[in-house]
Homo-oligomer: A and B are copies of this chain.
């Protein structure tokens, strides 16, 4: 099967890292297709960035459908455009926040999210409510790291994130940690080894859950709410 993992921002190095993480867990018959939109912000750190990136990301789903892609992962922790992507796709579409939060509820009775900038905490909070996961989410913590700091090898990111995860365990009594940024995908296992609780990276979990659904022959419901978009005239110039 072919799974398209879409990094909704335009930072190619992050797309490559996400693709590598996805491939590392994918099953033998799974082809991972890591892409990012042609146009858009280099990182997503707020509602405005998300809205711009969502529209661009949807283009990648449309292309995927034309190419016969079996399922999709939206690899930004705000899960921008998730329901819109589900309208476009016939196969399953998962967001990484969605996949990670659900997985955390399978492995613990309560988790904390550790994310980048404080201003994005509200996005994780809204998603937890939308997914029914608020009752499992003990806290959402920010490291006040910019997303692109995760791409900078000289940054202190790993140490700061690990420290915040440790606080989540001690202060929130979190049984599991959800990493709140696709760019943290390469840190999960090291932090897990250090802290000895499940540290969940949404990229890998989302890929495996899409595999699972496709493996059960399941796709997005095309009846009612998530039916294909109504073909529609577009006017004006872009």
A contacts, CB < 8 Å to B: 10-11, 25, 27-28, 37-43, 45-52, 54-55, 58, 81, 83-84, 86-88, 92, 94, 98, 102-103, 105-110, 118-119, 121-122, 126, 129-136, 169, 173, 175-176, 189, 192, 196-198, 200-201, 204-205, 208-209, 211-213, 215-227, 229-230, 232-238
A47, B220: Cα distance in complex, Å: 14
With A83-B109, A223-B197: A49-B215 Cβ-Cβ less than 8 Å: no
Which residues in B have their C-beta under 8 angstroms from that of A218? Answer: 103, 107, 198, 200, 205
A-B contact pairs, 18 of them (CB 8 A): A38-B237, A41-B234, A48-B58, A48-B88, A48-B229, A50-B84, A54-B54, A102-B106, A107-B219, A108-B225, A118-B173, A122-B225, A129-B135, A173-B224, A196-B222, A198-B218, A198-B220, A209-B209
Each complex incorporates copies of this chain amounting to: 6
With A107-B221, A175-B224: A236-B39 Cβ-Cβ less than 8 Å: yes
Residue of B102, B135, B196, B215 near A208 (CB, 8 A) is B215
Determine if A81 and B42 form an interchain contact, defined as CB atoms under 8 angstroms apart.
no
Which residues in B have their C-beta under 8 angstroms from that of A49? Answer: 229-230, 232
Determine if A217 and B236 form an interchain contact, defined as CB atoms under 8 angstroms apart.
no
A39, B232: Cα distance in complex, Å: 13
Determine if A28 and B25 form an interchain contact, defined as CB atoms under 8 angstroms apart.
no
